[in-house]
Amino acid sequence: MRKNSIKNIRMNEEVRKQLQEIVMHELKDPRIDPMTSITKVEVAPDLKTCKAYVSVLGTSEALEETVEGLTKAEGYIRRELARTVNLRNTPSIRFIADDSIAYGVGMSKIIDAVIAQDESRHADTDTEETSVD
């Protein structure tokens, strides 16, 4: 099975959905932020390993604590994943901090600030033109 095969893509998405359910509804660890989401999952073609990218709506400290809590609960998460997804092998999961959502929010704020600054500049030039006439 190739890394980008249809079967592998489907498997990645199914494992992502199940991991999201487990994280949201099964785990009771206080280190895991309630606004945690699994953004992407990459299951190796041999089904031995899995990279799960984790994002938290909050601070970078909350993200680090959440990744630490998920890493500590990896055994439980694997057991629940094996129970819900019928795979030959249940992959070992490596949780990786994903700050792409925070990066996107930051870029969106920068774009909004530039647009507001541009609109205020145009409004100033329009008022100067009408007062000169």
Report pTM: 0.76
- Res 79: pLDDT: 94
- Res 4: pLDDT: 77
Whether 80 has a pLDDT exceeding 70, the answer reads: yes
Q: pLDDT-based confidence at 125, cuts 50/70/90?
A: confident
User: 83-124 pLDDT, tens per residue?
Assistant: 999 888 899 999 999 887 778 888 999 999 999 998 888 887
CA distance 112 to 117: 9
- Res 68: pLDDT: 95
User: 6-54 pLDDT, tens per residue?
Assistant: 888 999 999 999 999 999 999 988 999 998 999 999 999 888 999 999 9
- Res 89: pLDDT: 85
